[in-house]
Amino acid sequence: MLAVTILGNNSALPMHERHPTAQVVTDGERLFLVDCGEGTQIQMIRYKIRRSRIGHIFISHLHGDHYYGLIGLLNSYNLTGRTEPIHLYAPPPLQAILDLQMAAAESRLCYPLVFHALGEDGILFEDTRITVRCFRVRHSIPCWGFLFREQPRPRKVRPEAASAAGVPSSFFPQLKAGEDFIDAQGRRIANEQLTAAPPVPKAYAYCADTSFHEPIAESVRGSDLIYHEATYLDDQWEKAHARHHSTALQAARIARLAGAGRLILGHFSNKYEALDDFREEAATEFPDVEVCREGVTYLVG
Ligand SMILES: [Zn+2]
Ligand SMILES: [Zn+2]
């Protein structure tokens, strides 16, 4: 079951009880960190996120509100004697920034930090459970979004039906892969009679800092849950455009164009104390929308 926990829903300037961007995507026991703004470690402690379970960190771009917490987190792993690798997916210049910070402190990591430079749109990580892709968004500096998609699961064997049809357990892998069974008399038994369909794979899309950019909808098409930044309300659309950010209405338009299941909004300017207007504005374009709240876990699908 995919889910995402919000650790920060604010934009760059500090604000009481709202933090810069960080999210944790969970796939069972595994955690993936998406962006790591200042204060991310404190937020992890507050919301009982076990940082030791994080093996992959994705940084969308090099504005400070998305990565100023990273060097602290990497240092904490050192202090706690981590040995498992951390895979870091980030804009290329981050490598030199980290090297400089480490060198100045005469620090050496006691675990492997594997740096993966972001570039073309495509798959960053893949295993039997999940794929993570990156896609370009449109911001003032190079910036990427991330799409987490569950892998298709095998069909589920129905043991009673399989046993009644005389299917040997050695044939179960083929059943799970969708093959029909031919019995001893040469009769074909349709796979659908022997197995149940697996759950439909779910997808979560993180659309990082961006101005309104229609191609994003294509990159995240059909996602069950989309996070899209909404730094401003739409009466400030000119300011949003000038600063390479989006409005709540524009975020909702992307969700509608993408055929999303649900939308959560974040990255709010600290000129807004109350956030209800963001939801109301977006709902005029895309009804299934929420303002993302820190500490809340949103199930995908
Ligand atoms: Zn930002
Ligand atoms: Zn930014």
Check if 180 is active-site.
no
CA of 136 to the centre of ligand 2 (A): 13
CA 147/CA 227 separation, integer angstroms: 10
Is 22:295 a contact under the CB 8 Å cutoff? no
- Which domain, by its residues, includes 12? 2-153+204-299
Question: β-pairing, 22-27 with 2-8?
Answer: antiparallel
CA of 170 to the centre of ligand 2 (A): 54
The domain that holds 49 is classified in CATH as 3.60.15.10
In Å, how far are 36, 102, 106 from 206, measured between CA atoms? 14, 29, 35
Residues 86 and 26 in one domain: yes
236 exposure class (CB count in 10 Å sphere: 0-12, 13-18, 19+): middle
Residues 28 and 64 in one domain: yes
Q: Which of 27, 65, 209, 234 is catalytic?
A: 65
CA 111/CA 105 separation, integer angstroms: 17
Residues with C-beta atoms within 5 A of ion ligand 2: 63, 209
CA of 155 to the centre of ligand 1 (A): 41
CA 252/CA 264 separation, integer angstroms: 9
Strand partners, 3: 26, 299
Last-in-domain residue among 135, 166, 196: 196
Residue pLDDT tens, the chain, 301 long: 899 999 999 998 878 889 999 999 999 889 999 999 999 999 999 999 999 999 999 999 999 999 999 999 999 999 999 999 999 999 999 999 999 999 999 999 999 999 999 999 999 999 999 999 999 999 999 999 999 999 999 999 999 999 999 999 999 999 999 999 998 889 999 999 999 999 899 999 999 999 999 999 999 999 999 999 999 999 999 999 999 999 999 999 999 999 999 999 999 999 999 999 999 999 999 999 999 999 999 999 8
Last-in-domain residue among 169, 196, 223: 196
Residues 70 and 51 in one domain: yes
Residues 171 and 240 in one domain: no
pTM of the model: 0.93
Based on the structure, what is the number of domains in the chain? 2
CA 250/CA 229 separation, integer angstroms: 9
CA of 173 to the centre of ligand 2 (A): 47
Residues 246 and 110 in one domain: yes
